[in-house]
Amino acid sequence: MSVEELDQEPFSVHEFVERLTSKTMGARARGRPEDFDPMMLHGAFEKMISDLQEKNAKVQKDIDSWEAAAREEEKRHWGRVGELQKTNQNLYTDFQKLDERISYVATKVVHLGDQLEGVNTPRARAVEAQRLMNYLAEFLQEQPLTSAVLTDPFQLMVTADIIQKLHMIALELPVGGRFDRARQKIAEKYDHVEQELIEEFRLSHQQTDKRKMKRIASVLQNFKGYGKCIETFIVESQKGAFLKGSPFEEVVPLCERTWTLITEVFVNPDSVMGKFVQHIFQNRIQGHVASMLEDRSEPEQYLKNLFDLYTKTNKLAGELGKFKLGADSAFLTKLTRAIFSQHLDKYAEVELRYLHTRCGSILTHYYESKDHHKRQLQSGGIHDLKRDIQAKIGTVTKAGQGVENFGGETFLSQEVAINILQETKNAFRRCQVLSYSSDLSGNAVKIFEVLVTYLVTEHIDYAVEIGLLGIPLAEPKAQPEIYFFDIVNEANTLFHLFEKQFLDSLIPLVLSSQRHGVCLKRKRETREQLEQKIGMGLDRSITAIVGWIRFIFTTEQKKTDFKPEEDAPMQMISPACSKVVRALTAFVESIRSSLDGQNVEICMTELGKRFHRMVYEHILNFQYNSIGAMLVICDVNEYRKCVKEGMRIPIITQLFERLHALCNLLVVVPENLKVVRSGEQLADLEDSVIQNFVQHRDDYRTARIANFIK
């Protein structure tokens, strides 16, 4: 085994020793223990250690040789670095000397240039003055101009420069004498050259010669007709545009194209762009707006057009804000207001007049479709008493119907409400856009008052008033037809729509103004007035229901029902109870189907309390034997079942359960009265109540009942 294996990668000492041992011992390494020769292995190890030491000495010698060569190379490298540093220092010194020399020469050159300019400027001015005097001399003569510069049309730019300067000189010449003719000729030439330049500018624009346009614009900047040059540019730039009906879609692309050309031609692009946009607004936009808003015979279409045009113009102004249009930040706003000012000043007047007409027309059309003529209604106090007396007289004399219920018509329409709400919603949107900021909240409140007048007062409140007139009398002689519950249901639905628009459309317009509180108060008062009338109607309706049930008890319930003969057939419930339950169930179902939310609970609670009081008082009107007591218990049980399943008001159910427990006192044997009286339902009742109730047993005196409940 050779030491060359040490150079293999990866190298493992353990594996190297194992291979050396295996090659030295051969097959004897796996034989019997007595065949093992340790001296042979020892010799192999000594020889390999000797080889390794020789290998180590050779490697160390190579390392020493390489280190010596590296030190020699490092020494030579540092020598070259030193020479380079010395050379760099010499170059830096030479550069400083050269820089100082250049600065010295530049100073001399600038000084020499100043001296030359000081000598040349007066000379050039003198030459220019002499040249202008020569041209002025031609204008002083009576003969036609002969100078090529003044007559050659191909030297128009040079001619323009000279004539502009001559024009300035002519303004300084004394008035009168021989200079008047010269001044006139110069003015005529000045106007002629100006017209020529503007015409050249127009032709160059048509040929898209930007360089020539820029040169002419630069020359005309010193002329009085520079504004005409800009006007020519504006007119030429708009040729072929605005051929469609509406100009709004074309403005921004046209301005983008024109802005690029303006920046390349004019030295004051902001001012030119401002005039370009102003021309579009005052001619194209204003003309379109005037034609669209000329006809005011149809207010609805006029308002729609005004809103649409003003919105589009404001949007256009916002898109044009990216261009530089001068120093006035409100430039576009002023242009817009100038176009629409005559319309915006009268907007509120037109809006309110239209709303009154439109909402009134909606209501009129609805009532005509119902063949109903609106009445002037008066309610409260003497008017309600007069109504009741007339209805009573009509019932007693049978001259006609006691009250007029209009066949169950509610006179409420969601379609009418939605139409009015849609009109006012559109009006609120227009108000937000078309009103001046100082008038916004005031105009919004006026629109809100229109909404209150036509939707709440003239429609919802009127229907409730009509419904109040149609409620039956408190003591009906026939089963009453009560439609007021339907009116309440529809009135609540419409008022919720009204409140939603109040929050969505009005409040954002008045939130930051003092009118916010006024509007909240107005809505609260409107709601309270409506709730007061609805409450009055519900109370009357419940009174009519209770009155009818009382009439049933009075006419149907007989004394013999609860004190029958011993051999009389047993009844499960009395005829009066059966009729009352049917009537009450019908009324409860009507209330539950018509009302919702708290109205159901309030109405059911009030009806249940009155019904319980009436049943209680009705029971106390009779004397009961044992069979009659069983019958009244069955009757009360039917009443309890009716209110529990129909009304679903826990407190009313509890009242009838207690009444049922009281009725048990009429049937139990005297010895058990005290036990029943101490039951859960009757324990908290006063003794006087119990005493008053058991007095209606027919055996109260004979059985000495009073002694059993003390």
Q: What is the pLDDT of residue 35?
A: 65
Q: Is the pLDDT of residue 707 over 80?
A: no
Three-state DSSP class for residue 697: strand
Q: Which residues contact 541 (CB under 8 A, 6 or more apart)?
A: 471, 482, 484, 485
Q: Which two tokens stand for residue 324?
A: 């530089």
Task: Report the half-sphere exposure of 666 (CA within 13 A, side-chain side).
Answer: 29
Question: Average pLDDT, stretch 64-77?
Answer: 90
Q: Is the pLDDT of residue 464 over 90?
A: yes
**If we measure between CA atoms, which residue out of 662, 669, 667 comes closest to residue 690?**
662
Buried b (16+ CB within 10 A) or exposed e, 577-591: bbbbbebbeebbebb
**If we measure between CA atoms, which residue out of 453, 444, 291, 439 comes closest to residue 356?**
453
Q: Is the pLDDT of residue 401 over 80?
A: no
Q: How far apart are CA 547 and CA 526, in angstroms?
A: 32
Work out the mean pLDDT of the chain and round it to a whole number: 85
Instruction: Output the pTM of the full model.
Output: 0.71
When mean pLDDT is compared across 82-91, 187-196, 277-286, the lowest value belongs to 187-196
What amino acid is encoded at 567 in this protein? D
Phi, psi of 556 (to 5 degrees): -100, -30
Contact criterion met (CB below 8 Å) for 200 and 218 = no
Strongest mean pLDDT among 139-153, 307-321, 412-426: 412-426
Q: What is the pLDDT of residue 594?
A: 86
Task: Report the half-sphere exposure of 92 (CA within 13 A, side-chain side).
Answer: 6
**If we measure between CA atoms, which residue out of 664, 544, 669 comes closest to residue 611?**
544
Task: Report the half-sphere exposure of 357 (CA within 13 A, side-chain side).
Answer: 9
Q: Find the DSSP H helices in 370-483.
A: 382-397, 414-434, 440-451, 462-469
Task: Report the half-sphere exposure of 352 (CA within 13 A, side-chain side).
Answer: 15
The Cα-based distances of 141 to 117, 134, 135, 616 in angstroms read 36, 11, 10, 133
pLDDT tens per residue across span 595-625: 888 889 999 999 999 999 999 999 999 999 8
The Cα-based distances of 186 to 138, 222, 551 in angstroms read 10, 16, 118
When mean pLDDT is compared across 49-63, 133-147, 229-243, the lowest value belongs to 133-147
pLDDT tens per residue across span 495-552: 999 999 999 999 999 999 999 999 999 999 999 999 999 999 999 999 999 999 999 9
pLDDT tens per residue across span 105-157: 888 888 777 777 766 566 656 666 666 666 666 666 666 666 766 766 777 77
Cis peptide upstream of residue 10 (ω within 30 degrees of 0): yes
When mean pLDDT is compared across 180-184, 323-327, 422-426, the lowest value belongs to 180-184
Q: What is the pLDDT of residue 398?
A: 44
Residue 353 pLDDT class (50, 70, 90 cuts): very high
Q: What is the pLDDT of residue 30?
A: 58
Residue whose entry in the numeric block shows the structure tokens 């409940």: 709
Residue 2 or 109, more confident: 109
Instruction: Indicate the angle between helix axes 347-369 and 299-320, nearest 10 degrees.
Output: 140
pLDDT tens per residue across span 360-389: 999 999 999 988 888 776 655 444 545 455
Q: Is the pLDDT of residue 394 over 50?
A: no
When mean pLDDT is compared across 330-339, 372-381, 423-432, the lowest value belongs to 372-381
**If we measure between CA atoms, which residue out of 186, 233, 177, 185 comes closest to residue 205?**
233
Q: Which residues contact 310 (CB under 8 A, 6 or more apart)?
A: 336, 340, 344, 433, 434
Residue 20 pLDDT class (50, 70, 90 cuts): confident
Q: What is the pLDDT of residue 173?
A: 67
Contact criterion met (CB below 8 Å) for 437 and 450 = no
When mean pLDDT is compared across 176-180, 419-423, 585-589, the lowest value belongs to 176-180
Q: How far apart are CA 554 and CA 557, in angstroms?
A: 6
